[in-house]
């Protein structure tokens, strides 16, 4: 963690000097390098939240989702998305999907950000018939280039990841993907790759087309 105690001279921003702002710029880079530590700490904190009623805590749900993504051969963008997709549960319970999406937006493919931003409404497809929400709410996005990826993300990695018997990879094992993704230059088109549609990798010998045809994703 950053330990330097050097500070700027001003108490209001409009009285700062060039040297002050150069100091802040110098401190920002090492601060950004600590992003993986902060996300890991935030996820670990979800282990200690009061019981949500699910059979596993939210941290374990994150690990299970990310492990499923990894075992399906997903790229780091998807793995980090699966790991962080519910990181906003405590601070933004009514729009937690949007909060997680804003965290990853500068660093991952646009498709991945869109999926995380909309996973709440796509998740309803699996619980809606039983919990009183509209299972077809996602239909408003039918035809969107990222629709199939969002459906698959929820079906294959999110909605099934409440299983206490599933053996997830450790939190520390995800540090390489976190480090890789958050070390990228922000909003670089090389990584954001707007309008590129890749979908999820096929899993267990299935193709996404097969799953879609069978209504399973
Ligand atoms: Fe969620
Ligand atoms: Fe989730």
CATH value at residue 105: 1.10.3210.10
Query: Which residues, 6 or more positions from 117, have their beta carbon under 8 angstroms from its beta carbon?
Result: 97, 98, 100, 101
Q: Is residue 178 part of a domain?
A: yes
Residue with tokens 């749900």: 61
Among 158, 179, 147, 150, residue whose Cα is nearest residue 37: 179
Query: Which residues, 6 or more positions from 18, have their beta carbon under 8 angstroms from its beta carbon?
Result: none
Q: Is residue 2 part of a domain?
A: no
Higher pLDDT, 160 or 205: 160
Q: Give distance in angstroms: CA of 112 to centre of ligand 1.
A: 14
Q: Is residue 4 part of a domain?
A: no
Q: How confident is the model at residue 2 (pLDDT cuts 50, 70, 90)?
A: low
Count of domains in the chain?
A: 1
Q: How confident is the model at residue 128 (pLDDT cuts 50, 70, 90)?
A: confident
Q: Which stretches of 17-109 are DSSP H helices?
A: 18-33, 35-45, 58-71, 76-84, 96-104
Residue with tokens 């922000």: 186
Q: Give distance in angstroms: CA of 52 to centre of ligand 2.
A: 12
Question: What pLDDT does 101 receive?
Answer: 98
Quick one: what percent of the chain has pLDDT higher than 90? 82
Contact (CB, 8 A) for 70 and 169: yes
Q: Give distance in angstroms: CA of 29 to centre of ligand 1.
A: 30
Q: Give distance in angstroms: CA of 216 to centre of ligand 2.
A: 18
Q: Which ligand is nearest to the CA of 89?
A: 1
With residues binned 3-state (H G I as helix, E B as strand, rest as coil), the percentages for the chain, rounded to 5, are: 55, 0, 45
Which helix H or strand E contains 151, and what residues bound it? helix 147-152
Q: Give distance in angstroms: CA of 188 to centre of ligand 2.
A: 27
Among 151, 197, 176, residue whose Cα is nearest residue 80: 176
Q: Is residue 120 part of a domain?
A: yes
Q: Is residue 143 part of a domain?
A: yes
Residues 152, 5: Cα–Cα separation, whole Å: 47
Residues 98, 110: Cα–Cα separation, whole Å: 13
In which domain, by residue range, is 185 found?
13-213
Q: Which ligand is nearest to the CA of 162?
A: 2
Q: Is residue 91 part of a domain?
A: yes
Q: Give distance in angstroms: CA of 37 to centre of ligand 2.
A: 21
> What average pLDDT does the segment 189-208 reach?
82
Q: Give distance in angstroms: CA of 64 to centre of ligand 1.
A: 13
Q: Is residue 62 part of a domain?
A: yes
Write the DSSP symbol of residue 170. P
Q: Give distance in angstroms: CA of 86 to centre of ligand 1.
A: 5
Q: Give distance in angstroms: CA of 66 to centre of ligand 1.
A: 13
Q: Is residue 3 part of a domain?
A: no
Q: Give distance in angstroms: CA of 49 to centre of ligand 2.
A: 15
Q: What is the pLDDT of residues 17-26, one digit of tens each?
A: 999 999 999 9
């Amino acid at each position: 963690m950053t330990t330097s105690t050097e500070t700027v001279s001003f108490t209001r921003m409009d009285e700062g000097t060039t040297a002050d702002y150069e100091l802040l710029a110098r401190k920002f880079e090492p601060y950004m390098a600590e992003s993986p530590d902060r996300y890991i700490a935030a996820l670990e904190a979800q282990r200690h939240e009061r019981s949500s009623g699910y059979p596993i805590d939210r941290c374990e749900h994150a690990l299970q989702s990310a492990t499923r993504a990894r075992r399906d051969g997903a790229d780091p963008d998807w793995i980090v998305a699966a790991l962080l997709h519910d990181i906003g549960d405590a601070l933004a319970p009514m729009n937690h999907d949007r909060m997680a999406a804003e965290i990853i937006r500068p660093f991952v493919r646009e498709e991945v950000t869109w999926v995380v931003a909309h996973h709440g409404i796509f998740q309803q497809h699996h619980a809606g018939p039983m919990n009183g929400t509209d299972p077809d709410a996602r239909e408003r996005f039918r035809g969107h280039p990222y629709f199939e990826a969002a459906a698959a993300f929820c079906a294959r990695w999110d909605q099934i990841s409440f299983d206490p018997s599933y053996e997830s990879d450790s939190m520390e094992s995800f540090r390489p993907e976190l480090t890789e993704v958050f070390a990228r230059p922000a909003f670089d088109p090389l990584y954001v790759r707007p309008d590129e549609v890749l979908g999820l990798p096929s899993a267990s010998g299935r193709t996404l087309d097969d799953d879609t045809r069978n209504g399973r994703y």
